[in-house]
Chains A and B, each alone.
Chain A
Amino acid sequence: MDKPSHLSVILDLSPTQWALCAQSTNPPGISLQAFLSQLLAFFNAHIACKDENTLAVFGALPGQSVLLYSSTGEVVAKDTEPTDPNTYRPFKTLDATVMNSLAEHIASFDGVSEEAPIGLVGCLTKALCYINRVTSNSSTPSSEGEGSAASVDPRILVLSVSPDQSSTYIPIMNSIFSAQKLRVTIDVCKIYGAENVFLQQAAHLTGGAYVQVEKPDALLQYMMMSFLPPPALRQLISVPTQDRVDFRAACFCHKRIVEIGFVCSVCLSIFCQPVPVCSTCRTKFPIKTLQRLNASRPLAISASTPGTPARPPAQRNGTATPATPRPG
Chain B
Amino acid sequence: MAPEGRRIGDTFADDSDSDVSIFDHDDATRAKNKGKGKAIDRRKKDKGKGKAKEQPYAWEASYTRSWDTVQEDEAGSLQGAVQDLIARGRRRRLQAPAAAIRRTIIRHLVLVLDLSSAMMDRDMRPTRFDLMLQYAREFITEWFDQNPLGQIGVVGMRGGLGERIGEMSGNPQDVLKSISERHKLEPNGEPSLQNAIEMARSSMSHLPTHSSREILVIFGSLTTCDPGNIHDTLDECVKDRIRISIVALAAEMKICRELCEKTGGQFGVAMNEGHFKDLLFELIPPPAQRAVTRANGGPAANPAADLMIMGFPMRLPDTSPPSLCVCHSQMKSEGFLCPRCLAKVCDVPTDCDICGLMIVSSPHLARSYHHLFPVKPYQAVMTLEDPSNSSKRCHGCSVAFRNTPSTMTGASGEGFSPLGRYRCPECKNDFCTDCDVFVHDVVHCCPGCGK
Instruction: Say whether A244 contacts B311, CB under 8 Å.
Output: no
Task: List chain B residues, Cβ under 8 A from A271.
Answer: 307
Contacts of A270 in B (CB 8 A): 310, 362, 365
| Nearest CB on B from A30, distance (A) | 28
Is A178 interfacial (CB 8 A cutoff)? yes
Given that A122-B448, A125-B447, A170-B366 are known contacts, is A289 also in contact with B314, CB under 8 Å in the complex? Answer: no
Return the CB mask of B320-348 against A: 1 if under 8 Å, else 0. 10000000000000001001100000001
Distance in angstroms between the alpha carbons of A43 and B151 in the assembled complex? 46
Given the contacts A125-B446, A171-B450, A283-B305, A132 and B397 also touching, CB distance less than 8 Å: yes
Question: Which of B106, B370, B398 touches A70 (beta carbons < 8 Å)?
Answer: B398
Assembly CA distance A36 to B135 (angstroms): 51
A248 contact set on B, CB distance < 8 A: 312, 362
Where chain A touches its partner, the secondary structure class is mixed
Q: Which residues of A contact B306 (CB under 8 A)?
A: 265, 285-286, 289
Identity of the chain A residue whose Cβ is nearest the Cβ of B450 in the assembled complex? A121
- By beta carbon, the residue of chain B nearest A133 is B397
Cβ contact within 8 Å between A246 and B314: yes
Does residue B444 face the partner (Cβ distance < 8 Å to A)? yes
Interface-lining segment among A82-90, A188-196, A218-226, A255-263: A255-263
- Interface with A: B110-118, B166-174, B232-240, B433-441, which one? B433-441
A167 to chain B, nearest CB (A): 9
Are A171 and B451 also in contact (CB < 8 A) when A201-B362, A249-B365, A263-B310 are? yes
Assess whether B443 is in contact with A261, with CB atoms less than 8 Å apart: no
Q: Which residues of B lie under 8 Å from residue A281 when comparing CB positions?
A: 100, 102, 289, 372
Complex-state Cα separation, A282 to B289, whole angstroms: 12
Contact between chains at A129 and B363 (CB < 8 Å): no
Q: Are A122 and B447 in contact (CB under 8 A)?
A: yes
Bound CA span A263–B149, Å: 13
B75 within 8 A of A: no
In the bound assembly, the distance between CA atoms of A128 and B444 in angstroms comes to 12
Does B179 have its Cβ within 8 Å of any Cβ on chain A? no
CA distance A69 to B310 in the complex (A): 43
Question: Which residues, 219 to 251 on A, are CB-close (under 8 Å) to B?
Answer: 242-249
Q: Is A59 an interface residue (CB 8 A)?
A: no
Instruction: Name A101-119 residues within 8 Å CB distance of B.
Output: 119
Say whether A290 faces chain B, with CB atoms less than 8 Å apart: yes
- Complex CA gap A286/B370 in Å reads 26
Interface residues of A in 277-296 (CB under 8 A from B): 278, 280-286, 289-290, 293, 296
Q: A125-B447, A247-B312 are in contact. Are A201 and B363 (CB under 8 A)?
A: yes
Question: Across the interface, do B445 and A175 meet the contact criterion of CB distance under 8 Å?
Answer: yes
> In the complex the two chains form, is A132's CB within 8 Å of B438's CB?
yes
Residue with the greatest number of chain A CB neighbours at <10 A, chosen from B104, B434, B447: B447
Contact yes or no, A285 B315, CB < 8 A: no
Please tell me if the beta carbons of A130 and B365 are within 8 angstroms of each other in the complex.
no
Assess whether A247 is in contact with B446, with CB atoms less than 8 Å apart: no
Pair B447/A289 contact, Cβ less than 8 Å: no
> Chain B 294-319, CB within 8 Å of chain A: the 1/0 string?
00000011111111111111111101
Interface range on chain B: under 10, 10 to 19, 20 to 34, or 35 or more? 35 or more
Q: Decide: B314 and A315 in contact? CB cutoff 8 A.
A: yes
Any B CB within 8 A of the CB of A78: no
- Among the interface residues B104, B310, B313, which one has the most CB atoms of the partner chain A within 10 A? B310
With a cutoff of 8 Å between Cβ atoms, the chain A residues found around residue B308 in the complex are 262-265
Knowing A133-B397, A303-B339 touch, does A170 contact B369 (C-beta < 8 A)?
Answer: yes
Q: Which residues of A contact B371 (CB under 8 A)?
A: 267
Q: Which residues of B contact A290 (CB under 8 A)?
A: 307
From A119, A274, A280, B450 is in contact (CB under 8 Å) with A119
Q: Is the CB of B339 within 8 A of A260?
A: yes
A252 to chain B, nearest CB (A): 10
Query: Looking across the interface, which residue of chain B has its beta carbon closest to that of A72?
Result: B398
How many Å lie between the Cα of A284 and that of B304 in the bound state? 10
Q: A17 within 8 Å of B by Cβ?
A: no
Interface members, chain B 372-394 (any A CB < 8 Å): 372-373, 393-394
The verdict on A130 contacting B396 (CB below 8 Å), with A243-B319, A269-B372 known, is: yes
B104 touches A129 (CB 8 A): no
Docked pose: A94 CA to B371 CA in angstroms: 41
Residues 305-328 of chain A, each 1 if its beta carbon lies under 8 Å from chain B, else 0 = 000000000010000000000100
| B102, A249: Cβ atoms closer than 8 Å | no
- Determine how close the nearest CB of chain A comes to the CB of B23; give it in whole angstroms: 42
A187 to chain B, nearest CB (A): 18
Measured in the bound complex, the distance between the Cα atoms of B230 and A64 in whole Å is 62
| A249 contacts B316, C-beta separation under 8 Å | no
Is A176 on the interface with B (CB-CB < 8 A)? yes
CB atoms of A262 and B105 under 8 A apart: no
A275 contacts the other chain (Cβ, under 8 Å)?
yes
Are B307 and A264 in contact, CB atoms less than 8 angstroms apart? yes
> Could you tell me if A247 and B102 are in contact, using CB atoms closer than 8 angstroms?
no
Given the known interface contacts A129-B447, A249-B366, A266-B289, the answer about A275 and B438 at a Cβ–Cβ threshold of 8 Å is no
A19 at the interface (CB under 8 A from B): no
Whether the Cβ atoms of A265 and B211 lie closer than 8 Å is: yes
Q: Is B361 an interface residue (CB 8 A)?
A: yes
Q: 1/0 per position for A36-76, CB-CB distance to B under 8 A?
A: 00000000000000000000000000000101001000100
A67–chain B nearest beta-carbon distance, Å = 5
Contact present for B312 and A265 (CB under 8 Å): no
List residues of chain B with CB within 8 A of the CB of A74. Answer: 393, 398-400
Contact B315 A244 (CB under 8 A): yes
What are the 7 tightest A-B residue pairs by CB atom distance, in nearest-first order?
A: A249-B362, A129-B396, A265-B210, A173-B366, A125-B447, A243-B317, A133-B397
Q: List 8 A-B contacts (CB under 8 A).
A: A74-B398, A129-B394, A178-B443, A259-B312, A268-B372, A270-B362, A283-B302, A289-B307
Residues of A within 8 A of B (CB): 65, 67, 70, 74, 119, 121-122, 125-126, 128-130, 132-133, 136, 142, 168-171, 173-178, 181-182, 201, 204-205, 242-249, 258-271, 274-275, 278, 280-286, 289-290, 293, 296, 299-300, 303, 315, 326
Residue numbers of B with Cβ under 8 A of A are 82, 100, 102-106, 149, 210-211, 289, 300-317, 319-320, 336, 339-340, 348, 357, 361-363, 365-373, 393-400, 434-435, 438-439, 442-448, 450-451
Given A132-B397, A278-B305, 10 more pairs with CB closer than 8 A: A122-B447, A174-B444, A249-B312, A265-B305, A265-B306, A265-B308, A266-B102, A278-B307, A286-B306, A300-B340
